[in-house]
Amino acid sequence: RKEVEQDPGPFNVPEGATVAFNCTYSNSASQSFFWYRQDCRKEPKLLMSVYSSGNEDGRFTAQLNRASQYISLLIRDSKLSDSATYLCVVYNNAGNMLTFGGGTRLMVKP
Amino acid sequence: DGGITQSPKYLFRKEGQNVTLSCEQNLNHDAMYWYRQDPGQGLRLIYYSQIVNDFQKGDIAEGYSVSREKKESFPLTVTSAQKNPTAFYLCASSMGQSNEKLFFGSGTQLSVL
């Protein structure tokens, strides 16, 4: 089993739709969680951190479920510019390293 | 402006050739990393360095070599022993002891002729 797993997609949604991605992680000792956005052939960029209480940034909401070991990303009112690959990233204090999921590709259509 | 610079943006390798990818940062970060990304996949760690003159293998180090002679620089050599080198290579850095937040370079696409 991979340490961090994501549905690769693609998720094809119309503009204005709400879409959600999940990401599961295997190491219960994982401390911190992040969502990165990556455009084709570009570097990943931090989208948001994921806090235990959940957090929201505009149209984006991230949640953490430690009991079931998954994090989620919800995008409301999708824009064409949201089309990208979303990487789930998990940080483990013990190893002091980040582990990347394979990414979920989102395509927002007019 | 502070940042992390990778060069070249595109690189072509001939059979049996070694090639070196450059990564320079002026963020005064202690730690630097090299990742490989294949189409439709996540990032896999090749090598990392927490301090000058020291580096460790990541998950897929075979066929690669690195050096860390200066804090600012962490070049990656793709040797002829790497039989499938075509990929997108990303360099990153982080500050201090916690490697939670990474700063990425813009990447190098390596292809085999």
Are B65 and B82 within 8 A, CB to CB? no
Residue B103 makes CB contacts below 8 A (sequence gap 6+) with B3, B4, B25, B27, B29, B92, B93, B94
B63 touches chain A (CB under 8 A): no
| Strand segments (E) across chain A | 4-6, 11-14, 19-25, 32-38, 45-50, 55-57, 60-65, 70-75, 84-92, 97-100, 104-109
Among B54, B47, B33, B36, smallest CA distance to B110 is for: B36
Instruction: For chain A, say whether B43 makes contact (Cβ under 8 Å).
Output: yes
Q: What is the mean pLDDT of chain A?
A: 92
pLDDT value for B96: 63
Nearest chain A Cα to B58, which residue? A97
Please return the burial class of A53, using the count of CB atoms within 10 Å of its CB with bins 0-12, 13-18 and 19+: exposed
Alpha helices in chain A (DSSP H): none
Rounded mean pLDDT, A46-70? 93
Among the partner-chain residues A41, A91, A103, the one whose CB lies closest to the CB of B107 is A41
pLDDT band at A9 (very low <50, low <70, confident <90, very high): very high
Looking at the DSSP bridge assignments, the partners of residue B44 are B36
Mean pLDDT of A95-102: 84
Tens-place pLDDT, residues A34-51: 999 999 889 999 999 998
B42/A101 touch (CB, cutoff 8 Å), yes or no:
yes
A15 vs A99, residue with greater confidence:
A15
Query: Tell me: the pLDDT tens digits for B18-75?
Result: 999 999 999 999 999 999 999 878 899 999 999 999 999 999 999 999 999 999 999 9
Q: Is the pLDDT of residue A1 over 80?
A: no
Cross-chain residue pair B41–A96, CB shorter than 8 Å: no
Q: Taking 80 as the threshold, does the pLDDT of residue B92 lie above it?
A: yes
Across the range A1-30, mean pLDDT stands at: 93
